[in-house]
Amino acid sequence: MRFKNWFFPLAGAALATLTIEMPSARAEPIAIINPSFEFPTVSDGSFNIANVTGWSVINTGNPGIFNPSSASFGFAPDGVQTLYSNGGTVFQTLATTLAPNTVYTLGVFVGRRLDFTPFPGFIVELRAGGTVLASANQTNIPLPTPGQFERLTLTYVSPRSIAPGQLLEIRLKSNGAQTNFDFVTLDARAFSPL
């Protein structure tokens, strides 16, 4: 983090600028392709199967894009489309590698359809280099009200020493029909070890 614009009056000069470099303490977003599942576009009330821009699909349970009508959800948390899964897994390997001494915060909205009961449960994972760093499931959020979403937040703190070159990965899985996901975010905040 850079602090600028500390002005000190000096003899013979009106102003001088002092710049101080400090370790970053601000959470920075990590790029995710199609984090809100708005691509590809499907028409109102429709869905596709295994076609999720930027994400890979393990197609057991027809994961895909859903544009819910009011029969399923009152609204999507972000945009107009969600990711749905009837049991399959969807994942995205990011272009960012795991860094040491960093707090990672993964967020995602988890939705329970109005017209699908009971709620099957789900698994959300943050991985790097093929290893699960942290995971969460339906016990980590309030049971969503039918037709609504709950925001899940998952945190991982990386150690001082890690193997280099491990690409981060986000993985979303439903345990059955049907879980919806929307608006995935991943933030990283570096810290200085004691």
Site residues, Ca ion (CB under 5 A): 36-37, 76, 78-79, 81, 182
Q: Smallest distance, Å, CB 108 to Ca ion?
A: 11
Residue (39 or 191) nearer to Ca ion, CB? 39
Q: Smallest distance, Å, CB 38 to Ca ion?
A: 5
Q: Smallest distance, Å, CB 62 to Ca ion?
A: 18
Distances (CA, A) of 189 to 26, 112, 139, 170, 185: 6, 31, 26, 17, 13
What is the phi/psi pair of residue 191, to 5°? Answer: -135, 160
> For residue 35, how many other CB atoms are within 10 A of its CB?
21
Residue (79 or 146) nearer to Ca ion, CB? 79
Q: Smallest distance, Å, CB 46 to Ca ion?
A: 14
Sign of the C-alpha dihedral, residues 111, 112, 115, 119?
positive
Residue (79 or 107) nearer to Ca ion, CB? 79
Residue (85 or 102) nearer to Ca ion, CB? 85
Q: For residues 71 and 64, is the Cβ–Cβ distance under 8 A?
A: no
